[in-house]
Amino acid sequence: MCALNIQPELQTQQSMQAVVNDFALMVATKNGSGSQTSNEVLIRSLFRMGIPVSAKNLFPSNIKGLPTWYTIRASKDSYIARRETTEIGVVMNQDTAAEDIANLPSGGVCIIPADWKWGQSRPDITYYEIPVKETVAKSEIPSEFRDRISNMVYVGVCAYLFNMPLDIVRKALLDTFNGKEKPTAMNFGVIQNAYDWASANVTKADPFRFETLNLTEGKILITGNEAAALGALFGGITIAAWYPITPSTSMIDGILDHKHIRKDPVTGKDTVAIVQAEDELSAIGMIIGAGWAGARALTSTSGPGISLMAEFTGLAYYAEIPCVIWDITRMGPSTGLPTRTSQGDLLFIHILGHGDTRQIVLLPGSVEECFEFGWRGFDIAEQFQTPVFVMSDLDLGMNIWMSDQFSYPDQPLNRGKVLTNKEKLEAFMESHGGEWYRYRDYDGDGITYRTIPGVDHTRAAYFTRGTGHTDMGTYSERGDDWMKGLGRITDKINSTRNQLPQPVTDWDKDKTIGILSFGSNDPAIVEARNILAAQGIQTNYMRVRALPLADSVHEFIQTHNRVYVLENNFDGQLAQLVRMETDKSTQHMTSLALGDTLPMTAHWIVSEITKRETH
Amino acid sequence: MANAIGLERADYKGAQSTLCPGCGHDSISNQIISAAYDLNLNMTQVIKFSGIGCSSKTPAYFLRGSHGFNAVHGRMPSVATGATLANSNLTAIGVSGDGDTGSIGFGQYKHLIRRNVPIVYIIENNGVYGLTKGQFSATSDEGAKLKYYGINDLPPIDLCLEAIVGGCTFVARSFSGDAKQVQTLIKAAVAHRGTAVLDIISPCVTFNNAPDSTKGYDYGKENEIPLHSIEYMPKGYVPAKDEITVEGDYEGTISVKMHDGSYIKLKAIDNNHDPRSREQAINLLEKGQRESLFLTGLIYYEEPRPTLGETMELVETPLAHLGDEALRPSAQTLAEVMKSFA
Ligand SMILES: Cc1ncc(C[n+]2csc(CCOP(=O)(O)OP(=O)(O)O)c2C)c(N)n1
Ligand code: SF4
Ligand SMILES: [Mg+2]
């Protein structure tokens, strides 16, 4: 079974009327063959042509040899969700070729190496057989680069077939090689030769073409993990502790790549320490120790790592220690599908830790929000003195997204109620009857004052423990102390509902159908709502951005006749959470949970909703 | 009597201990208190860490003026790593148990040492799980007997040997019944830069103190073989010329200059162990194990290598104290970064 689950009927192109800037291209190769570079050149070329573009890399959990599919979508309407159908197939992997060709829609295009002598079994598609080996041979490439560079042949052919100006392709190539001329020149030689071959030998027989637009002006191309890394750097991260795991690794790599923006301007020394821990048990311990000592610290991981962090995050919750944990989710349970996307950790991280815990979870739905929650996560953690989880996913984190440029933080750093020196502690005590106790609720908001180690005052110290404690921080096994302490924490967390990033809504009180969702499903929902509207199904939309759920979520559900809860997991976890929290009827709420290992598509949403809305 | 910073010894105490009367761990707490008092430690610049266990409860019972962190079972090393990285100016003291370090926390112990996290790491080793009521630990000697769990057939893990093999530059073993030695070693360990491991045999009077227990008081009192007498000479001490001997064999006295300018003076008793030799240290521990010798003292010492923080090119200000201007780059920087993605 091909992992792409293609359903060809939707986007079939039967006529020869030109299809401009509204189709998708799929490149099927073997992992580790170097196709990432050529695919990036294609994306960057379209981006430079001003055409809205998005890309999905469907790669195996393997270093070399297993099949990988890369889909690139151009959309004049600026839709950036995954598309189920790809009209163009660049078939470069013999292991999957039969299936890849079978999956093409009628009227589609198959670009395939000529030397395979594959045969043209489908009369309803256009074949272009391209001389990969000869083109590379002609380009006089040093033998060690030959295999990887052969992917540039399909770039050149596509440039010719679909009308991508070569000067733009060259610029895109230069971008991909970070401005390095030498590899650019070598690769461009192959592209040029392939282009020349195509112009001399190919008769175009398909309707697909790109045309320059101006819709990417001022935009950027970036992955969610890089955006999150930048956000963290603008949020004052000083310690990152981590253990490598797909799909979170590139977030830490992003911090490493960009931490120079935080170098001390005078000494050139770093203000960010990155520690590769021995495991996630240790990574979380390190950031809790750092947060306790007053630093802004984060870790980034995925499901298996989250499982290992459970005990420690319970401690940080109960002992009220700020720290930030990014969960770039992948398919679970267990090792699951390490390179496939999912939103399956939602409930687990919300209640992570044994006993009664309710962790704060932020849910970015775009790369812009990855950046924003990158810095805001620290503010929230320190404001409420608690761990903050940010749940991104493989799709958001690892794929390249087109986005508006990120906005500079609109608020100064919020360090919370922290007494960082003797003077602050003294001033506090002076205005509080001469006392300060770590867990005493002086302001009635459930948030108490903390000192950090090193405050040079005889009363600054307190003892941090995960065992029962009084509001003075002393050990206690008394039930009333326990209830008072945990009760305050529970109230504190509850109070965040309407203070955390609130849901984004498109809510017109006249419409009676609601869509509730979160995270990276957003682009597919945006597209689906337009398709539904064109079919006469008008919907409202609420995208949740944090747990615990804002009160408006329940209001949204109660004020609609029907609500569809869309999420990319198996169990419908957001819907479950809504039901857990409300005593009102949710009979009119339908859980549409996918969990098919791929990013959600508008097609799936439209078909699920129309099925229920038209009888 | 007040010390040089005007504190009484009692000021260095913590809350009332809740351990069993006579527990070895309490006497170690007492020595920490005495050492801190003698060293004139400013408690606000000390951070205490522990895992979970009877031993790990003790940081609440000493140095009340210091911030303390009672972490989860076996994972104090990672918390201490993060905290010392966040604020390298503070002196860290960690207390663990043989279960906490030798079993659930074994990996973190080895990695703490590998990273040379600056901490005095004390293992209160009683060969048993005290807090869970008397199971064998990984340091229980082969043939050891326990009331409910019978005889231990597995070889023990030697936490000092593990420390040396793992790259620790200060490794000592002691006995909580030998108050003076414990106290002196603690002082030296505080002066050491980097991980200093003190594996202190600390009898559990409730679950592992039978006369034949190799981790009990009677056994310790009768069998302890101190390698040397140890003296700690605070900063300012000038050793006599003939005290320092060259590397290799030595007889008599050796003085080791610590990072902060203080000295430890070791006077051999009836053997020639030179703690500056890794080979001798490993052989000594192997021999001790083979011949069931309870050898105590500074087993291994080496010029400290850089601590974890020192291996990174970090600013001098502790990370925890960086101001907003150091934590958030300018809007212009963001604009430049954005340009690189356009
Ligand atoms: C994850 C976890 N597992 C088990 C325990 C139960 N537990 C508490 S203390 C302890 C053993 C402590 O032994 P040791 O470290 O030798 O300390 P001692 O009590 O002997 O001083 C165990 C297993 C725990 N607290 N956490
Ligand atoms: S059970 Fe053993 S280790 Fe625990 S307090 Fe009692 S004597 Fe000490
Ligand atoms: Mg023990």
Q: What is the pLDDT of residues A6-16, one digit of tens each?
A: 544 444 444 57
The whole-angstrom separation of Cα A237 and Cα A297 is: 6
Query: Residues B174, B198: contact at Cβ < 8 Å?
Result: yes
Strand A387-393 with A323-329, pairing: parallel
Residue type, A432: H
Residue type, A10: L
The beta-carbon contacts of A57-61 under 8 Å, at least 24 apart in sequence, are: A57/A398, A57/A399, A58/A3, A58/A4, A58/A339, A58/A340, A58/A598, A59/A31, A59/A339, A60/A31, A60/A339, A61/A246, A61/A337, A61/A338, A61/A339
> Does A142 fall in a domain?
yes
Measured on CA atoms in the order B169, B175, B176, B177, is the torsion positive or negative? negative
Give the angle A222-A228-A232 at the CA atoms, nearest 5°: 135
pLDDT value of position A163: 98
Residue A272: how many other CB atoms lie within 10 Å: 26
Domain CATH code at residue A530: 3.40.50.920
Strand B195-201 with A126-130, pairing: unpaired
Question: Whose CA is closest to A80, among A24, A11, A38?
Answer: A24
Same domain? For A581 and A528 the reply is: yes
pLDDT, tens only, A280-295: 999 999 999 999 999 9
Query: Residues B241, B334: contact at Cβ < 8 Å?
Result: no
Buried b (16+ CB within 10 A) or exposed e, A124-138: ebbbbbbbbeebbee
User: So what's the ipTM on this one?
Assistant: 0.97
For A91, A163, A207, B43, the CA distances from A128, given in Å and listed in that order, are 10, 15, 14, 78
The whole-angstrom separation of Cα B98 and Cα B93 is: 16
> Does A508 fall in a domain?
yes
Measured on CA atoms in the order A255, A256, A259, A264, is the torsion positive or negative? positive
Residue B75: its chain A contacts at CB < 8 A? Answer: 281-282, 285, 312
Domains and their CATH numbers in chain B: 9-309 (3.40.50.970)
pLDDT value of position A15: 52
The whole-angstrom separation of Cα B342 and Cα B268 is: 70
* Block residue for tokens 């527990």: B23
pLDDT, tens only, B9-45: 999 999 999 999 999 999 999 999 999 999 999 999 9
Residue type, A221: L
pLDDT value of position B245: 45
> Does A296 fall in a domain?
yes
Judged by CB atoms closer than 8 Å, whether chains meet at B83 and A220 is answered as: no
Residue B80: its chain A contacts at CB < 8 A? Answer: 289
Show the domain range for A513: 504-613
Q: Helix A152-162 to helix A166-176 angle, to the nearest 10 degrees? A: 150
The whole-angstrom separation of Cα A85 and Cα A150 is: 26
Average pLDDT, chain A: 96
Contact A238/B at CB under 8 A: yes
- Cα of B24 from ligand 3 centre, angstroms: 11
Two tokens at B8? Answer: 């009484």
pLDDT value of position A4: 53
Q: A494, A520, A548: which is the final residue of a domain?
A: A494
Same domain? For A454 and A562 the reply is: no
Q: What percent of chain A has pLDDT above 90? A: 93
The whole-angstrom separation of Cα B85 and Cα B74 is: 19
Question: Whose CA is closest to A159, among A55, A58, A44, A82?
Answer: A44
> Is the confidence at residue A389, as pLDDT, over 90?
yes
pLDDT value of position B272: 81
- Cα of A461 from ligand 2 centre, angstroms: 27
> Does A86 fall in a domain?
yes
> Does A8 fall in a domain?
no
> What is the residue with the minimal CA distance to atom 13 of ligand 1?
B129
Domain CATH code at residue A212: 3.40.920.10
pLDDT, tens only, A170-212: 999 999 999 999 999 999 999 999 999 999 999 999 999 999 9
Same domain? For A213 and A229 the reply is: no
Same domain? For A476 and A460 the reply is: yes
Q: A466, A494, A522: which is the final residue of a domain?
A: A494
The whole-angstrom separation of Cα A182 and Cα A577 is: 55
pLDDT, tens only, B156-187: 999 999 999 999 999 999 999 999 999 999 99
Band of residue A144 on the pLDDT scale cut at 50, 70, 90: confident
Contact B75/A at CB under 8 A: yes
Q: Report the half-sphere exposure of B12 (CA within 13 A, side-chain side).
A: 25
Judged by CB atoms closer than 8 Å, whether chains meet at A236 and B328 is answered as: yes
Same domain? For A480 and A345 the reply is: no
Same domain? For A185 and A205 the reply is: yes
Judged by CB atoms closer than 8 Å, whether chains meet at B342 and A262 is answered as: no
Find the CB nearest B111 among A282, A288, A412.
A282
The whole-angstrom separation of Cα A237 and Cα A255 is: 9
Same domain? For A391 and A446 the reply is: no
Residue A461: its chain B contacts at CB < 8 A? Answer: 43-44, 64-68
Question: Whose CA is closest to A194, among A173, A221, A176?
Answer: A173
Give the angle B61-B63-B67 at the CA atoms, nearest 5°: 100
Q: A217, A245, A260: which is the final residue of a domain?
A: A217
- The neighbouring-strand residues paired with B96 are B123
> Does A411 fall in a domain?
no
Two tokens at A72? Answer: 């690139």
pLDDT value of position B242: 56
Atom of ligand 1 nearest to the CA of B96: 15
> Does A524 fall in a domain?
yes
What is the DSSP annotation of A166-219? HHHHHHHHHHHTTT-HHHHHHHHHHHHHHHHHHHHHPPP-S-EE----S--TTE
pLDDT, tens only, A559-599: 999 999 999 999 999 999 999 999 999 999 999 999 999 99
pLDDT value of position A12: 43
Q: Which of B132, B146, B159, B176 to mutate to test the pocket of ligand 1 (most atoms within 8 A of CB)?
A: B132
Q: What is the mean pLDDT of residues A209-231?
A: 97
The whole-angstrom separation of Cα A157 and Cα A153 is: 6
Q: Which of B56, B73, B215 to mutate to test the pocket of ligand 1 (most atoms within 8 A of CB)?
A: B73
Two tokens at A431? Answer: 């205005």
Same domain? For A444 and A343 the reply is: no
The whole-angstrom separation of Cα A495 and Cα A18 is: 56
> Is the confidence at residue A3, as pLDDT, over 80?
no
Residue type, A92: M
Instruction: Count the domains in chain A.
Output: 4
Query: What phi-psi label fits residue A223: left (phi over 0), alpha (psi between -120 and 50 degrees) or beta?
Result: beta
- Classify A234 as helix, strand or coil: helix
pLDDT value of position B259: 84
**How many Å lie between the alpha carbon of B117 and the closest alpha carbon of chain A?**
12
Judged by CB atoms closer than 8 Å, whether chains meet at A296 and B327 is answered as: yes
At B96, which helix (H) or strand (E)? strand B91-97
> Does A499 fall in a domain?
no
Same domain? For A429 and A527 the reply is: no
Same domain? For A130 and A251 the reply is: no
pLDDT value of position B174: 98
Two tokens at A251? Answer: 């977030």
Residue A311: how many other CB atoms lie within 10 Å: 17
H helices of A297-451, in order, are 303-319, 346-350, 367-384, 394-398, 422-430
Average pLDDT, chain B: 94
Query: What residues contact A57, with CB distance under 8 A and at least 6 apart?
Result: A36, A39, A68, A70, A398, A399
pLDDT, tens only, B137-149: 999 999 999 989 9
- Classify B130 as helix, strand or coil: coil
**How many Å lie between the alpha carbon of A514 and the closest alpha carbon of chain B?**
36
pLDDT, tens only, A329-378: 999 999 999 999 999 999 999 999 999 999 999 999 999 999 999 999 99
pLDDT, tens only, A411-464: 999 999 999 999 999 999 999 999 999 999 999 999 999 999 999 999 999 999
Same domain? For A208 and A329 the reply is: no
pLDDT, tens only, A506-552: 999 999 999 999 999 999 999 999 999 999 999 999 999 999 999 99
- Cα of B157 from ligand 3 centre, angstroms: 13
Domain CATH code at residue A227: 3.40.50.970
> What is the residue with the minimal CA distance to atom 2 of ligand 2?
B204
pLDDT, tens only, B95-131: 999 999 999 999 999 999 999 999 999 999 999 999 9
Band of residue B243 on the pLDDT scale cut at 50, 70, 90: low
Global pTM reads 0.96
pLDDT value of position A430: 98
Same domain? For A66 and A156 the reply is: yes
